[in-house]
Structure formats: C-alpha cells, structure tokens
Amino acid sequence: MIKLEKPDIDVESIITDCTANLTKQPILTHINASKTTIVSKSEKYNELAEKGQLGTLETHTMIEGGATKDDMVWLYDNKFVADGGRKYYDKIKAIPKYSKCPFCGVGIVSTLDHYLPKTKYPTYALTPVNLIACCADCNKNKKSEISETRNNEFIHPYYDDFNDEVWLKVKIVFDEEIIFSFYAEKPNTWEQEKYERAKNHLRKLQLNKLYVAHCGEEFSEYRDTAKDLYKKGGEELVREDLICRIEERRRVTKNNWRAALYEGLLESQDFFDKFLMS
C-alpha cells in the first residue's frame, strides 16, 4: 500500500552479470538464446503495467529461444540472489524507505517478491519491476497466486497509487472486550474496480489480523493518556488530541493503520460515552 520508485536497473545487465561466470550447461546456452526475448518482454511488462494490463500476460514454462522455467528459477536462486546478481538484489531490497514493507506498511523488508510468480511467468524472473522488496509474512501470504480478474490483483507498489485517498478504516466495538476490525471503505473518487482491489489486498494478505495484533499494544498505551486528557478538558480535549495524531500519522501515508485506529476512536461515540467515562 506504499508506492515505490521503480528500480533504475535493466534486465540485460542483470542477465549479463548473472551469467558472467556460469559454466553450467545447457542453462547458459538456453539463457543466452533467450536473452533478447527476455529484454523485449520486460519492456512490454512495463508498458502493460502502466496501463493496468498485466492480467493479459499468459502463464508459460518456456521462453522463446529455449530457456525453461527451471533454467530461470535456477538462475534467480543461484546467481541473482547468491552470486553475480546480488548487487542488484540488494539495490532493489533497499528501495522502500525505512525498510517498511510496501504491501502492509508494517513489516520489515527481508526478501524480494515476484509480483508475477517466477514459476508461472519465468520470462520475468529477473525483470526488476517484477521484483518487490517486502516482508516475509506478505511474501508468504501472497504465495504464487494468479489473479483471474483485475479486481483480484494485488496492489503493485511500482505502478499503483492507493494513497490518493483515505480508504483504510477500522470499526471499534466497546463491550466486555474491545474489538477492532479493519476494512476498506470506498472513496467517492474511486471506481468500483479500485475499491475491489483494495478489499482483495487486505483480505489475501491478512492485513486485518496484522493490524489488529498491533492495535492492542497501541491502544493500551493510549488509553491512560486519553483518560487523563478527558479529566483535564473533557471530550473536546481528547478530540483535539486524536485529530493531531491522525494528521501526524497521515503526513507520510494516508492509509496508516495507526491513523485509522485514532480516526476510529474519534468517530466512536462509545469511546467517549462508555470507555472514557467508565
């Protein structure tokens, strides 16, 4: 949900460096024979992604020229991650500010994810704009899933801007226990398709579960502050404090889970009538 600058790296350089000391046959022959195709297809990937048309690409196991899925997976695992291409791996991994995962905005970057899975789209196994730095949990939850429709596509950090409007919300229930539930709310300026993608992203990456887990600690730290403010200046002073916290956390990204939490408290009359007065 955090937009990233695209990596300033070309796939041709990656292939050249990854195969520089490669002697393993027939992989070397296959890769060299498919190099031109991989370069041209990577350029096409960028064009399609800019238009939101990655869904038009078909899964495959062979690349024109002779490279196979197994060739490309081997090259990624053994040469890009661990050998001649490591400098590119590390450069892409360093793109997110503060090492924050762009998919969830919480986890710490620890790996690279193939937006289009390398086992199903081997042509793009080394394509820089198909490689996204992310946390281990998002990488695991994203799996190798293929979206059948545009509505089901994950947010692509290099091409999609989902920070244009506030859409991450939280419902808070004050009962015997406090229950938090994060959800996507459709902004008036959004088309239905974009809204569906936001909901899909939250659901498939299990972000509600992640954010709720963090809410407990955040709220426990704030509850005493809120009650002290309420004693000093009543509801008005607490509302002023919540507004300041929301604005502060939305300076970097509008859809910050902490901002959603404090907005949820601000909009919950039960927080003022039940919780603060108890």
pLDDT bracket for residue 188 (50, 70, 90): very high
pLDDT digit string, tens, across residues 231-240: 999 999 999 9
Residues 172, 128: one domain? no
Note down the domain range covering 176. 168-275
User: Pick from 124, 152, 180: which residue ends a domain?
Assistant: 152
pLDDT digit string, tens, across residues 136-187: 999 999 988 888 899 999 999 999 999 999 999 999 999 888 999 999 999 9
Identify any residues that bridge with 181 across adjacent strands, giving them in sequence order.
171
Asked if residue 33 belongs to a domain, the reply is yes
Residues 245, 186: one domain? yes
Residues 141, 190: one domain? no
Asked if residue 268 belongs to a domain, the reply is yes
Q: Where does residue 213 rank: exposed (0-12), middle (13-18), buried (19+ CB within 10 A)?
A: exposed
Q: Which residue in 32, 45, 39, 30 sits closest to 12, CA to CA?
A: 39
pLDDT digit string, tens, across residues 52-89: 999 999 999 999 999 999 999 999 999 999 999 999 99
Q: Which residue in 204, 211, 136, 205 sits closest to 168, CA to CA?
A: 211
Asked if residue 210 belongs to a domain, the reply is yes
Total structural domains in the chain? 2
pLDDT digit string, tens, across residues 139-152: 999 988 888 899 99
